[in-house]
Amino acid sequence: MKSIFTLLILAVGSLTALGQSAKVTGKITDTDGQALLGANVMVKGTANGAVSDMDGAYEMMIGAGTYTFIASYTGYSPSENTVRVEDGATVTLNFNLTPGNDLDVVVVSSSKKPEKLTESPATIETIFAREIEEYAGNPGELLARQKGIDYFRAGIATPAFNIRGFNSNFNSKNLQVTDGRFSTLVATGLPFGPLATVIKEDIERVEVILGPNATLYGPNAHNGLMNTITKDPRTSAGTTIALNPGVNGDGNAYYSARIRHAQVLSDKFAFKVMGEYTKATEFEFADSVYIDRVGAVDTLGNRVPDGTKEGYEELELDPGVDFLRAGLGLYYSPSKDLDVIFNTGYSNSNYLSPTNVGRNQIKDWMINYYQLRLSGKHWFAQAYYTISKTDSTYAIDQRTKNYYAMLDAGLPDAQARGSASYGNGALFQDDSRRLNAEAQYNNSFGSLDLIGGVQYQLDKANSLGSYLLDNGQSIDISQLGAYAHLTYNFGSGWRLLAAARADNHEIYDFNFVPKFGILKVGDRGTWRLTYGKGIAAPTILNMFGDLFAGLILGNAEGFTLTDGSKVEKQKVEKIQTIELGYRGQLVPNKFFLDANAYYNISKDFLSPVTVVGVATHRGDTPIDQVQSGYAFYNGLVATYVNFGEVNTYGFDLGGTYYFSSEFSANFNYSFFDYSVDEDNPENDFDKNGTVNFLDILVNAPTHKAGAGLNYSGSQWFGSVFGRWVDSYDYFSSFQIASRTHPGLTYRGVPIVENARSGDSYNYGPLGGFLTVDLSLGYRFNEIFTLSAAATNLFNQELREFTASAPTRGLYTVELKVNLPAIGKK
């Protein structure tokens, strides 16, 4: 934190030392002369620009020269104008925008360069700043309104998503990226999620890729990718203060306070700084932990038979939620075609997080990053350093078991709750680091567009001996990848894509990932047919885990069992996807359709934790030198293995109808299913002689749909959205949410709804609900905006995830104060 504020002081201190140059001002209106609030004006080929205020007015500083200015606004066609700007002069440049369409939307995630959404070789869902600004709730809720996304809330603080099946309580198959950097935990590979450092007011847009996109982003862009792009201070100068109180469906208070300040100091320097503090109380819920009692007595003092498995509430459950976030960005443009950008961010988080063995109590988990990015006309390079640290996060389930075991051993209550209750794998500590570097070149040679790059990553995972085989020393693993992305324009709208990536990883060796596609770009839309391969790489936890005194061990080296058989070391999971898609307008400037159909071939699944037997060696090391609990387990090991092959398929359909540029309706529907060879013994994960859904664990609804109405005027704005999710069974390690399946067992226990299942409880299937969200707001003037949002309007009790509370309503109000940029008249 100290480094952040030191840099901020230096930036602000430079304000009086930096000179000004020419000024460009003007107004942006529609064809009726109505002012357009929040329209963007950009200097073509640079990141310099401004945003219009409530009167449609904008203002920016720029050096002398001849420039092309582009004005754009959601729902309108962009407009260009080229003018000569003299040093010290003020130039007036007005724009009159005509109604446009979704074909004008520009994205960057699919090809790592700007391109029209319709011409992207991937299915991309977009959420723009205007939608985020007009929604008074958590912006993560807007993911629920996109097609193809399995959205769920695992509590008030943890909205999350999955794409195209195989979800789990420990899902690292959806890559999270922010401003070009991986926003994932070092040891587990999990997305930052609530640990993220970004605040709502600094988000320019979110782009979600459905399906694999590994050629440009590498391992773990497997099921999909979420790319968050933050605002450039040169196009978003000013100060925003947001006060966001609310209440959840249990009547517990929620509040958030955020501030963002961005300032252009000259035509070369700009900066932004932001902060957030959010505090809430989790939905009321205490899960049952089933414990084998030894020597226990009941409430009447009678002896409980040894081995009796009773359910107990989670020990010392803390429902408090709080987040502290801060960030700083410094932007320097020494010339027209060169940007030097430094970003840093910090977060400290406390909340409840579901895992596949129960909930974790996240305690003071800190994320810190430093990123330096250089960008030229045909290239960019970046390096960033990520820090993850926590000293006292723990698994509630295991701590509860430890507590009762010590009571049964005769320890007094105070001692049983003390430091000893954090033993046997309950405590999770982290002091991990990650270094990333990337360089990319892009250019056009006639009809050929080329993108090529190289990426390097060094993971330094350190659990301080709490959950990894690190013995208090970091586990250092490096990987190097190179990619090439070629697009050839044959003319008449036909384009051919060929891309490939080669990765070499220190543990799981070499992998090659290709992608091919053909696009037909028309005046009213684009057809695309693509083939792509993706991989899901084992995480450091998968490879070097050490949980519950060595009962669960990572599988980076394989195991030798007592009968001499081998358990092969884990390798990457592979997916191949064929996708046909179309995005375009069925009725010009009125009705837009986005549809895709896909077929996936997945093999070598990364399994959930499974008992493989009694081992004599891990790799070449005797098991008694690896397993700290060897005296108790005698070499019995659970680990992660590869198995099987399954085909998944489905389609996503989304449409938007514009009644006017301000009022629209949208809908989406997604279908997902799978097929598996029941005669292939490699698909029999549980080795019971029968291949069925309990081996594959698809964990996704077959059907889901949504529909909404949206209004965004100069003063009033609002939306109503309904979401339906089909009921579905869900299994993730010890967690189960399923209807009754007579005659079937999961982990040796009959599958019975509303009954105990092993060490957890089966509350029944997930999904099976229809819920409604509502938002409404009003802009009083250029400065003050008041809005409200109701998530789960009717306060239904929804089963969205395991090891978490049933989610209920969340009702928030947001007062936003937008102060103009310093120096603006």
Q: What is the pLDDT of residues 288-314, one digit of tens each?
A: 888 877 666 554 555 566 556 678 889
The DSSP symbol for 702 reads: S
Q: Which helix (H) or strand (E) holds 643?
A: strand 642-658
Banded pLDDT at 20 (limits 50, 70, 90): very low
Q: How far apart are CA 160 and CA 155, in angstroms?
A: 10
Residues 6+ apart with CB under 8 A from 185: 191, 192, 195, 388, 430, 432
pLDDT at residue 23, as a whole number:
84
Banded pLDDT at 2 (limits 50, 70, 90): very low
Residues 6+ apart with CB under 8 A from 656: 102, 591, 592, 664, 665, 666
pLDDT at residue 30, as a whole number:
81
The whole-number average pLDDT for the span 481-487 is 94
Q: Record the tokens describing residue 199, joined without a space.
A: 């605040």
Q: How far apart are CA 231 and CA 605, in angstroms?
A: 38
Q: Of the given ranges (76-80, 235-239, 391-395, 505-509), which has the lowest mean pLDDT?
A: 76-80
Q: What is the pLDDT of residues 375-429, one digit of tens each?
A: 998 999 999 999 999 999 999 999 999 999 898 888 999 999 999 899 888 999 9
pLDDT at residue 279, as a whole number:
97
pLDDT at residue 483, as a whole number:
94
Q: Given a cut of 60, is residue 13 above it in pLDDT?
A: no
* Coil, helix or strand at residue 381: strand
Residue with tokens 């959950």: 467
Averaged pLDDT score across all residues of the chain: 89
Query: Are residues 536 and 172 in contact, defined by beta-carbon separation less than 8 angstroms?
Result: yes
Q: Given a cut of 60, is residue 687 above it in pLDDT?
A: yes
pLDDT at residue 142, as a whole number:
94
Q: Record the tokens describing residue 577, joined without a space.
A: 């996807």
The whole-number average pLDDT for the span 730-744 is 93
Q: How far apart are CA 662 and CA 583, in angstroms?
A: 21
User: Using CB atoms within 10 A of its CB, is residue 584 exposed (0-12), middle (13-18) or buried (19+)?
Assistant: buried
User: Is 77 part of any domain?
Assistant: no
Handedness of CA 399, 402, 404, 407 (dihedral sign): negative
User: Is 150 part of any domain?
Assistant: yes
3-state helix, strand, coil in the chain (%, to 5): 10, 55, 35
The whole-number average pLDDT for the span 601-628 is 92
Banded pLDDT at 3 (limits 50, 70, 90): very low
User: CB atoms < 10 A from the CB of 364, how many?
Assistant: 14
Banded pLDDT at 100 (limits 50, 70, 90): low
Q: Given a cut of 50, is residue 14 above it in pLDDT?
A: no
The whole-number average pLDDT for the span 473-477 is 93
Q: How far apart are CA 788 and CA 617, in angstroms?
A: 60
Q: Which helix (H) or strand (E) holds 321?
A: strand 320-335
For 460, the domain range is 106-230+354-728+766-819
Banded pLDDT at 598 (limits 50, 70, 90): very high
User: CB atoms < 10 A from the CB of 634, how many?
Assistant: 13
Residue with tokens 């080795």: 687
Q: How far apart are CA 506 and CA 132, in angstroms?
A: 41
**Amino acid identity at 153:** R
pLDDT at residue 655, as a whole number:
95
Q: Given a cut of 50, is residue 263 above it in pLDDT?
A: yes
* Distance separating the N- and C-terminal Cα atoms of the chain: 34
The whole-number average pLDDT for the span 632-639 is 93
Among 396, 47, 404, 383, smallest CA distance to 230 is for 47
Give the CATH number of the domain where residue 498 resides.
Answer: 2.40.170.20
Q: Record the tokens describing residue 762, joined without a space.
A: 């089966």
**CA angle, 659 then 660 then 661, to 5°:** 135
**CA angle, 764 then 766 then 767, to 5°:** 130
Q: Which helix (H) or strand (E) holds 452?
A: strand 448-461
User: CB atoms < 10 A from the CB of 505, how many?
Assistant: 20
Q: Which helix (H) or strand (E) holds 518?
A: strand 509-521
Q: How far apart are CA 201 and CA 816, in angstroms?
A: 10
Q: How far apart are CA 714 and CA 461, in angstroms?
A: 50
> For 689-791, where are the alpha helices, taking DSSP H only?
693-696
pLDDT at residue 156, as a whole number:
87
Q: Given a cut of 90, is residue 130 above it in pLDDT?
A: no
pLDDT at residue 730, as a whole number:
96
pLDDT at residue 47, as a whole number:
60
Q: Given a cut of 80, is residue 4 above it in pLDDT?
A: no
pLDDT at residue 305, as a whole number:
63
pLDDT at residue 260, as a whole number:
97
pLDDT at residue 15, as a whole number:
38
* Coil, helix or strand at residue 661: coil
Q: How far apart are CA 289 and CA 403, in angstroms?
A: 12
pLDDT at residue 332, as a whole number:
95
User: Is 56 part of any domain?
Assistant: no
Q: Record the tokens describing residue 85, joined without a space.
A: 């700007």
pLDDT at residue 425, as a whole number:
85
Instruction: Note the pTM of the prediction, 2 decimals.
Output: 0.89
User: Is 735 part of any domain?
Assistant: no
Q: Given a cut of 50, is residue 19 above it in pLDDT?
A: no
pLDDT at residue 10, as a whole number:
41
Q: Record the tokens describing residue 563, joined without a space.
A: 């009968």
Q: What is the pLDDT of residues 692-720, one digit of tens each?
A: 999 889 999 999 999 999 999 889 999 99
Q: Given a cut of 70, is residue 46 above it in pLDDT?
A: no
The whole-number average pLDDT for the span 511-516 is 92
User: Is 21 part of any domain?
Assistant: no
pLDDT at residue 74, as a whole number:
65
**Amino acid identity at 512:** F
Q: How far apart are CA 355 and CA 351, in angstroms?
A: 13
The whole-number average pLDDT for the span 545-558 is 91
Banded pLDDT at 124 (limits 50, 70, 90): confident
Query: Are residues 627 and 635 in contact, defined by beta-carbon separation less than 8 angstroms?
Result: yes
Number of domains in the chain: 1
Banded pLDDT at 823 (limits 50, 70, 90): low
Q: Of the given ranges (8-12, 428-432, 729-733), which has the lowest mean pLDDT?
A: 8-12
DSSP 101-115: -GGG-EE-TTTTS-E
